[in-house]
Amino acid sequence: MSKQSTHKAMHTAMQPVLQLLTEINTFMKNEGITGSITYRQESSHMVRCGRSQISLNVSEEGEKYFVEIQASQRKISGSTTAQANDSDKLKTLVSTLNERVKLMPEVAHMSPMTAIVQGDLNRFNADGALINLDSKVMVDLFKRCGEHFAHGNVEVSGAFSAGVYSYAIINTLVDAPVAYQGSDYNVELVLQLLDHDKKELRVADVGEALNQFDANSLIKQLDASYQLLTNTPRQDIEPGEYDVIFHADAFGDLINYLGYMALHGETYQYGMGMLQQDKHQIGSQLFGSNFTITDDPTDPEVLFARPVGENGIARQPFPLISDGVLSNQFYSDKDDCDRFGIARNNDMDVASIKVATGNGPTDFAAMVKSCTKPTLFISFIHYMNLTNAAKGEFTGSSRFGTFLIADGEIKAHLYNQRINDSYHRIFNQIEWLSSQLHHVNMSSTYGMRSASSIACPRFVKVNKVKITGSSAPGKG
Amino acid sequence: MLEQGRQVINYLQQHGVDYADIRIHQLDEEETIATMKGDVDKYNLVSKQGYGIRVLVNGAWGFASSEVMTLTAMQQTGHQAIAKAKNASDYIQQKVRLAPKAVIQDSYSSPCQIDPFTVSTQDKLARLLQLDSQLADKRFDYWGVSASFYKRDILYIDSEGSEIRRHLIELDAELFAYAKDQNGEQCRRTFNLPQDANGTTGWENIINDAQFDHTARIREELLALLDAPECEKEVCDVILLPEMMALQTHETIGHALELDRILGYELSYAGGSHVDLADFGQLQFGSHKLTARADGTVANSPGSIGYDDDGVKARNVTLIKNGVLQDAITSRQMIMEANAKAGRTIFSASGATSRAQNYSNLPIERMNNINIDPGQDGSLADIIAATENGLLMETPRSWSIGSNRENFHFATEVAWKIKHGKITHIVRNATYRGDSLSFWNALDMVGDERTWQLQPVFQCGKGQPNQIMRLAHGIPACRFKNVQVGE
């Protein structure tokens, strides 16, 4: 796995922004105001394809400033769109909030504001090729895909998003802002097979720089799935417990939910996740001993690593689940942490989650060959949601290719299967994990761009997953 | 700004666009207040300005947005949109065509008695903290109240000559309480402020006790839930109250009938639809008791905005009549494309549902008010009395829907067991699931107007880039036969 970007350039607009933040921070200090200012910026491009044609080709330029003021144990926040020459607009917002904060009741548990981290921490990692991307590159992917599958009665869909995003933060306890600028692209390419009951296939990719994008590879992967789906019979299976091999796109989604349900400290404190404080603490064996998760911004295998969170907290290697044992939880939000008298230790919003690999197969053929007993292959989970958060129970249905494997070969492709299980069971019943990582996109791509991905093994086999229904008529 | 907008449209026409529109958010403000356990947990003010420019060139869309409000910046943004349309036109199968519409010069304002932005901060805090205090109970872990107020002034100008101003005010408010049940697992009860379909949308809703002060009921229901038995697995009748009916309608009628989704434009993300163009006029979507509408003309609703972002005047469209599928949630572009694909005129005019979340988004088909007509099966008490073995269910806790909206699995915050026409006890962790068409065809009782409520939805997600939309569902209490629950 190599997704390290090589082509970096600083967005020229950042320097005036850092000057403006410093100016407003000085203004606040001179006015005797305690508070912080956060800047967020994005330039986003997106091309969307549907019915084998471009349906949407859009771009967005956005800059927002977020001001937070704390007066003793009173607090207020506000934000506005502004440009780097709009210092008067920001000063007006600061003054408005400063007047209104006096009306807020005191909050007894509110702790004093703390200084944001200082030092040589600014990172400008944006790929110049993504800052002003010509949408022709994005359109061409879908066009080439359409040409590749022109022989079949298929419709090409998908979305290709790319852009640059920045944040910078300063507060009145320090003199200098800390800033980050990065770029990302993420692509998903979908085929609908009109002659095959509108079955669907999907491939996806995520990266930091345009030179990591490989259209040929994506189309080749899609073609491989196409061959599988068009050369195997479709069948349905009875509800029950099945061994399931999840592709990284499906497993990454499970990990994403697990993050909120078990690794999000505030959720744990509020009792809104799957862990109960009287049963599960740091040090508890939650899951199987073959399951390890880290957040390490120094790990060369993760994407979008940030040394400082959007909350101004420095980030260090942060083990989360170590051999199944809960090692750490994220505490990112000051208001929530104040309520529980806990210090912030990270920023979950910019975490670089990685699931440790195992010794399982890495390529599709070897994975199939490894299945001698009936096993389901699930490539993607559609619309996962929690049916009982306290028990860690969830539901969701497979999508974009679900296969029945046995005797070392694919026997059939299946209707989409509905899973009703719990994260406790899933992560305690992992049989093996691939020895190779795959990046799964988790980015917010528009409206307030922020890149994120989960690195997890390409395939993960889990025993006895509960299947309760399917998309076959009458089986929902 | 009107003159500047006109200049931009003229400029784009001079640069060869086949069509152009600009949406300028001259004012876009939001105020959010949240309490928790007697404290002000959040007080946040948001102010935005910006615009989006959409053009058609060579039969393809291009769109660009910016927050720099000068004429020069708008012209540059327009050039970006033109370049994107030209690139997009390199891979199209059929050119975008827009259905005819009336040229409009008009304005629309949300009905509002008391503009929430004119109410003093002290009064707002006092009211929310009062409700917060009424939710408190020693068995509860957390409780609170949240309210968000939205105000937008949007100027729409298009190259066909329409100029429309919209002054929109919306409010969203909620009560919530959380506590641990007998097993130490967290339960919750929430209450979303419903809207009076014929009323107004201002601060008056928040200070109306009958409308918003459901604190005693929420508190009592959560206390009862904490010691309640779990929902058992069985097949029985279910009666859905308005908050749950809103979810059921939203997920399995609303999203399933978005025409862009039916055509396949949402495939890579949200999914498709089990509905095909051939189904219109023929498919028995539900029982004969089901009549559903996409009604943008409801007097007071976050789904009522006067004109959509294509500049089409709001309409009341019958989607399903006596169970038979009739129409869809449509826009100017999609009805032309669908009619061409079907080889017949299924859709006679845009349903005026093309909407964008923000100035930075391209409008797409969105639900407005997806409503179900009240029936003639009496009050809720009448429906309960007619039920031999059932569950009365309220308030969504979880939802997961098949990618073609062909099936669903929902969990509810609260349910009550019904035996022999009477409520016997409250149950927790209730769930139900089904196939969409089978479920709607199992609709056998529809409550009358006394059970009909307008339930707002402020967090409907759709599209890439994802857009969050505000809308509503006017729905009665309904009963469905033989539903799988507790699984």
Look at residue A184 in the predicted model and tell me its pLDDT. Answer: 94
Q: How far is A61 from chain B (nearest CA, A)?
A: 5
Question: Is A135 close to B438, i.e. CB distance below 8 A?
Answer: no
| Interacting residues of A147 by C-beta distance below 8 A, sequence separation 6+ | none
Mutate which of B17, B233, B400, B414 to disrupt the A interface (most A C-beta within 10 Å)?
B400
Amino acid at the residue B382: D
The CB density around residue A301, as the number of other CB atoms within 10 Å, is: 16
B107 touches chain A (CB under 8 A): no
For the CA atoms of B332, B333, B335, B339, what is the dihedral angle to 10 degrees?
140
What CATH number is associated with residue B184?
Answer: 3.30.2290.10
Closest to A57 (Cβ–Cβ): which among B40, B63, B141?
Answer: B63
Strand-by-strand arrangement of the B316-321 sheet: B324-325, B316-321, B292-295, B370-372
Q: Which residue, of B191, B226, B261, is where some domain finishes?
A: B226
* B285 and B204 both lie in a single domain: no
Residue length of chain A: 476
H/E element, A182: strand A178-193
Question: Is A75 close to B43, i.e. CB distance below 8 A?
Answer: yes
B345 touches chain A (CB under 8 A): no
Q: Rounded to 5 degrees, what are φ and ψ at B248?
A: -60, -45
Question: Is B91 close to A474, i.e. CB distance below 8 A?
Answer: no
Whether residue B209 is predicted with pLDDT greater than 50 in this model: the reply is yes
* B50 and B185 both lie in a single domain: yes
- Name the closest residue on chain B to residue A79, using Cα atoms: B46
Question: Is B403 close to A159, i.e. CB distance below 8 A?
Answer: no
* B80 and B157 both lie in a single domain: yes
* B324 and B214 both lie in a single domain: no
Which A residues 39-58 touch B at CB under 8 Å? Answer: 44, 46-58
Question: Is B41 close to A335, i.e. CB distance below 8 A?
Answer: yes
CA distance B319 to A156: 29
B53: chain A residues, CB-CB within 8 Å: none
Look at residue B466 in the predicted model and tell me its pLDDT. Answer: 86
- Asked if A445 and A163 touch (Cβ cutoff 8 Å), the reply is yes
Look at residue A7 in the predicted model and tell me its pLDDT. Answer: 36
pLDDT tens string B50-74:
999 999 999 999 999 999 999 999 9
| Interacting residues of A38 by C-beta distance below 8 A, sequence separation 6+ | A65, A66, A68, A167, A168, A169, A310
Left (φ > 0), alpha (ψ -120 to 50) or beta: where does A304 sit? left
* B335 and B454 both lie in a single domain: yes
A279: chain B residues, CB-CB within 8 Å: 184
pLDDT tens string B365-392:
999 999 999 999 999 999 999 999 999 9
CA distance B342 to B340: 5
A104 touches chain B (CB under 8 A): yes
Domain count within chain B: 2
Look at residue A59 in the predicted model and tell me its pLDDT. Answer: 87
What is the extent of the structural domain holding B437?
A: 234-485
- Name the closest residue on chain A to residue B408, using Cα atoms: A476
Q: How far is B244 from chain A (nearest CA, A)?
A: 15
Kindly state which CATH superfamily the domain A14-230 is placed in. PmbA/TldD superfamily (3.30.2290.10)
Give the pLDDT band (50/70/90) at residue B187.
very high
B362 touches chain A (CB under 8 A): yes
Look at residue B65 in the predicted model and tell me its pLDDT. Answer: 94
CA distance B189 to B216: 12
- Name the closest residue on chain A to residue B93, using Cα atoms: A53
A vs B: CB pairs below 8 A: 262
* B294 and B421 both lie in a single domain: yes
B83: chain A residues, CB-CB within 8 Å: 135
B429: chain A residues, CB-CB within 8 Å: 388
Which A residues 381-410 touch B at CB under 8 Å? Answer: 382-391, 395-397, 399
Question: Is A157 close to B465, i.e. CB distance below 8 A?
Answer: no
CA distance A442 to A450: 9
Mutate which of B70, B74, B91, B95 to disrupt the A interface (most A C-beta within 10 Å)?
B91
As beta bridge partners, residue B370 has: B294
CA-closest candidate to residue B481, choices B422, B449, B426, B440 = B440
Which A residues 155-194 touch B at CB under 8 Å? Answer: 155, 157-159, 161, 188-190, 192
CA distance B473 to B454: 5
- Name the closest residue on chain A to residue B94, using Cα atoms: A53
A221 touches chain B (CB under 8 A): no
| Interacting residues of A247 by C-beta distance below 8 A, sequence separation 6+ | A377, A378, A379, A380, A458, A459
Question: Is B360 close to A389, i.e. CB distance below 8 A?
Answer: no
Look at residue A476 in the predicted model and tell me its pLDDT. Answer: 67
- Show pLDDT as tens, one digit a residue, over chain A (476 residues): 444 433 344 455 789 999 999 999 999 999 999 999 999 998 889 999 999 999 999 988 889 999 999 999 999 999 999 988 899 999 999 999 999 999 999 999 999 999 999 999 999 989 989 887 889 999 999 999 999 999 988 999 999 999 999 999 999 999 999 999 999 999 999 999 988 777 899 999 999 999 999 999 999 999 999 998 888 888 889 999 999 999 999 999 999 999 999 999 999 999 999 999 999 999 999 999 999 999 999 999 999 999 999 999 999 999 999 999 999 999 999 999 999 999 999 999 999 999 999 999 999 999 999 999 999 999 999 999 999 999 999 999 999 999 999 999 999 999 999 999 999 999 999 999 999 999 999 887 656 788 889 999 999 999 999 999 888 877 76
* B99 and B123 both lie in a single domain: yes
B44 touches chain A (CB under 8 A): yes
Closest to A57 (Cβ–Cβ): which among B42, B48, B88?
Answer: B88
Question: Is B267 close to A382, i.e. CB distance below 8 A?
Answer: no
* B77 and B119 both lie in a single domain: yes
Please tell me whether the peptide bond between B465 and the residue prior to it is cis, using omega within 30 degrees of 0. yes
Look at residue A445 in the predicted model and tell me its pLDDT. Answer: 66
CA distance A153 to A380: 23
**The residue to which tokens 């296969």 are assigned:** A403
Question: Is B400 close to A57, i.e. CB distance below 8 A?
Answer: no
Look at residue B315 in the predicted model and tell me its pLDDT. Answer: 97
CA-closest candidate to residue A415, choices B261, B406, B470 = B406
The structural domains of chain A, with segments of one domain joined by +, span 14-230, 234-470
Q: How far is A210 from chain B (nearest CA, A)?
A: 18
* B195 and B300 both lie in a single domain: no
Q: Which residue, of B209, B226, B243, is where some domain finishes?
A: B226
Whether residue B114 is predicted with pLDDT greater than 70 in this model: the reply is yes
HEC string for chain B: CHHHHHHHHHHHHHCCCCEEEEEEEEEEEEEEEEEECCEEEEEEEEEEEEEEEEEEECCEEEEEEECCCCHHHHHHHHHHHHHHHHHHHHHCCCCCCCCCCCCCEEEEECCCCCCHHHCCHHHHHHHHHHHHHHHCCCCEEEEEEEEEEEEEEEEEEECCCCEEEEEEEEEEEEEEEEEECCCCCEEEEEEECCECCCCCCCCHHHHCHHHHCCHHHHHHHHHHHHCCCECCCEEEEEEECHHHHHHHHHHHHHHHHEHHHHHCCCCCCCCCCCCCHHHCCCCECCCCCCCEEEECCCCCCCCCCCECCCCCECCEEEEEECCEECCCECCHHHHHHHHHHHCCCCCCCCCCCEECCCCCCCCEECCCEEEECCCCCCCHHHHHHCCCEEEEEEEEEEEEECCCCCEEEEEEEEEEEEECCEEEEEEECCEEEEEHHHHHHCEEEECCHHHCEEEEEEEEEECCCCEEEEEEEEECCEEEEEEEECC
The helix/strand count (H/E) of chain A reads as 10, 23
Q: How far is B417 from chain A (nearest CA, A)?
A: 19
Q: Which residue, of B177, B207, B226, is where some domain finishes?
A: B226
CA-closest candidate to residue B88, choices B66, B64, B58, B65 = B58
As beta bridge partners, residue A65 has: A39, A80
* B221 and B240 both lie in a single domain: no
In the Cβ-directed half-sphere of B175, how many Cα atoms lie within 13 Å?
27
Left (φ > 0), alpha (ψ -120 to 50) or beta: where does B127 sit? alpha
* B264 and B221 both lie in a single domain: no
- Its sign, for the CA torsion B419, B422, B424, B428, is positive
